[in-house]
Structure 1
Amino acid sequence: MRSKLPFYLKRFGVAQGLRLYFLLKSKRKGLVRIRIPQARHPIYLRLGTSDRNVFNNIFVQGEYDAVELGNHPQTFLDGGGNIGLAAVYFANRYPAMQIVSVEPESENFKMLQLNCQSYETIRAVQAGLWSRSTHLDIRDAGGGAWGFQVEETDRPTPASVRAESIEALIRANGGKPFEVVKLDIEGSEAEVFRTCTEPWLPFVRALIVELHEWMIPGSSASFVAATAPYNYRKTVSGEYEVYERQDLTV
Structure 2
Amino acid sequence: MFWLKQLLKEPYNALRTARDREFIGLLWRYGDKPRHRLTEVRFGKYRLRVPDTMSFLFQHQEIFADAFYEFTSDHPQPVILDCGANVGMSVLYFKERYPQARVIAFEAEASIAELLRENLQSNGITDVEVIDKAVWTDDQGVQFGSEAADSSSIYSESAQMNLVPSVRLRDYLRKEKRIDFLKIDIEGAEIDVLADCADSLGHVENLFVEFHSYIGHSQSLAGVVKVFEENGFRYYVDTNQHRKRPFVNHRYRGNATMDLQLNIFGWRE
TM-score past 0.5 threshold: yes
Aligned to 1:164: 167
Match of 2:55 among 46, 50, 54: 50
Q: 1:79-125 CA distances to partner (integer Å, 9 max, x unpaired)?
A: 11111111111111111211111110122212211222221332111
Report the TM-score, using the length of structure 2 for normalisation. Answer: 0.70
Q: Percent identity?
A: 21
Gap change, CA 1:145 and 1:225, over 3 Å in 2: same
Structure 1: give runs of 5+ residues left out of the alignment. 152-157
Q: Does 1:103 align with 2:103?
A: no
Number of residues paired by the alignment?
A: 228
Q: Compute the displacement of 1:12 (Å).
A: 7.7
Q: How far 1:13 moved relative to its partner?
A: 6.3
Among candidates 99, 120, 125, match of residue 119 of structure 1? 125
Secondary structure of 1:178's match?
A: coil
Separation in structure 2 between the aligned mates of residue 7 and residue 46 of structure 1, nearest angstrom: 27
Contact 1:76–1:100 (8 Å) recurs in 2: yes
Q: Indicate how the Cα distance of structure 1 residues 93 and 104 shifts in structure 2: closer, same or farther if over 3 A, else same.
A: same
Residue 77 of structure 1 and its aligned partner are, at CA, apart by 0.6
Aligned residue in 1 for 2:202: 202
Cα offset, 1:162, TM superposition: 1.2
Q: Which residue of 2 aligns with 1:228?
A: 229
Match of 1:154 in 2: none
- 2:251 is matched with which residue? none
What is the Cα-based RMSD across aligned positions, in Å?
Answer: 3.5
Relative contact order (C-alpha < 8 Å, sep 6+): which is higher?
1
CA distance in 2, matches of 1:9, 1:225: 36
SS at match of 1:194: helix
Which position in structure 2 is the counterpart of 1:180? Answer: 181
Alpha-carbon separation, structure 1, partners of 2:126 and 2:193: 28
* AA partner of residue 94 (structure 1): Y
Q: Unpaired segments of 5 or more residues in structure 2?
A: 1-9, 156-160, 241-262
Q: SS at 2:149's partner residue?
A: helix
TM-score, length basis structure 1: 0.74
